[in-house]
A = this chain, B = another copy of it.
């Protein structure tokens, strides 16, 4: 009998230790500092049957910003690089661009001059590069770009500039019954062709900004045409709206990095029951970029103040992450 009791005790210990080990090993690129501990404590709390904070799997919704939260965003949002490359590729079909701003400056390599026109100039570039084709055509173009385009400074593929610790976090949450969504100011159709392979997030779990589309029969064949008209801006106060529109229930965890994520974090963490908010603070000028209050791209100011007031977890990239990008 003694042997059987000991064997049983050993089995229980192995199971228990195995459980802890699994949790610890799920986030190997995270240092054992505060953020990692907070994440694990939250996940264990909401997934433990009988816990007062238990949340049924169907309600374990987690939303992630993309730019600056799941991948880098410097020197400017990668989707703008896509738009610029696209304008260059389309230039031969648009001889009039040679004399028309913002295209003229852009094609001369003068990005600053091209963007001098402010929001209007950006809108012109976005529409020229994102509209006027079918959804299938745009998907091909975005896929081709993401597969080949490289960042001018790191020389990495843009899609190689995703954050390894966040990939581990996404997988860890899913392994614990969470459904993970992207909720980004970026273009919904720009992200969808590659989020499944890159993040394990399928197209139907991507929320983003969009232009309008129109159903048409072309020679009897149905197509969806992308129109040069804004449909929805999924940023700031638009994020809770986009979440409600696409997901239809409030997340219990939200992850961002800038003031554009403030309202998503407020909306998520003000619901009843256990909630989790996290902000990635870009503090690592050596391995990535260091910026916050004074950055025009990914400005983090008010949300950093609110994080303190609301008990959101703040990741110090330099201190909390062992690596930034995947090998």
Among B188, B222, B249, B270, contact of A204 (Cβ-Cβ < 8 Å): B249
> Are A203 and B248 within 8 A (Cβ)?
yes
Q: What residue of chain B has the Cβ atom nearest to residue A136's Cβ? A: B250
| Cβ contacts A200-211/B at 8 Å (1 or 0 each) | 001111100010
Contacts A202-B58, A215-B263, A244-B135 given; indicate if A270 touches B221 (C-beta within 8 A).
yes
A246 CB–B CB distance under 8 Å: yes
For A231, the chain B residues whose CB sits under 8 A away are: 245
Give every chain B residue within 8 A of A222 (Cβ-Cβ): 240, 263, 266-267, 270
Interface size class of A (residues with CB under 8 A): 35 or more
CA distance A204 to B188 in the complex (A): 16
Copies in the complex: 2
The reply to whether the CB of A224 lies closer than 8 angstroms to some CB of chain B is yes
A10 proximal to B (CB < 8 A)? no
* A241 contacts partner chain B, Cβ-Cβ < 8 Å: yes
**CB-nearest residue of chain B to A249:** B203
A196 at the interface (CB under 8 A from B): yes
Residues of B within 8 A of A248 (CB): 188-189, 192, 203-204, 206
Interface residues of A in 211-269 (CB under 8 A from B): 213-215, 217, 221-222, 224, 231, 237-238, 240-241, 244-249, 263, 266-267
Find the residue from A224, A241, A248 having the highest chain B CB count within 10 A: A248
Using known A-B contacts A222-B266, A244-B135, determine if residue A237 contacts B249 with beta carbons closer than 8 Å. no
> Per-residue 0/1 for A119-147: is the Cβ within 8 Å of any B Cβ (1 yes, 0 no)?
00000000000000001000000000000
Among B210, B215, B247, contact of A237 (Cβ-Cβ < 8 Å): B215
Question: In the complex, A206→B204 CA distance in Å?
Answer: 11
Q: In the complex, A99 Cα to B37 Cα: how many Å?
A: 63
Contacting pair B196 A58 (CB below 8 A):
yes
Return A143 CB to nearest CB of chain B, in Å. 13
- Could you tell me which residues of chain A, from 33 to 74, have a CB within 8 Å of some CB in chain B? 58, 61
Name which residue of chain B comes closest to A246, CB basis: B246
A238 to B231, CA, bound (A): 14
Choose one: B189, B204, B241; the contact of A215 (CB below 8 Å): B241
Q: How far is the CB of A282 from chain B (nearest CB, A)?
A: 26
| Contacts known (A240-B224, A267-B222); A204 close to B135, Cβ less than 8 A | no
With a cutoff of 8 Å between Cβ atoms, the chain B residues found around residue A215 in the complex are 237-238, 240-241, 263, 267
The 10 sampled A-B contact pairs (Cβ below 8 Å) are A61-B204, A135-B244, A188-B245, A192-B248, A203-B247, A204-B205, A204-B248, A213-B245, A221-B270, A231-B245
**Residues on A facing B (Cβ under 8 Å):** 58, 61, 135, 179, 188-189, 192, 196, 202-206, 210, 213-215, 217, 221-222, 224, 231, 237-238, 240-241, 244-249, 263, 266-267, 270
A188-B248, A206-B248, A224-B267 given; name 10 further pairs at CB < 8 Å: A58-B202, A192-B249, A203-B248, A204-B248, A214-B237, A215-B240, A215-B263, A222-B240, A222-B266, A222-B267
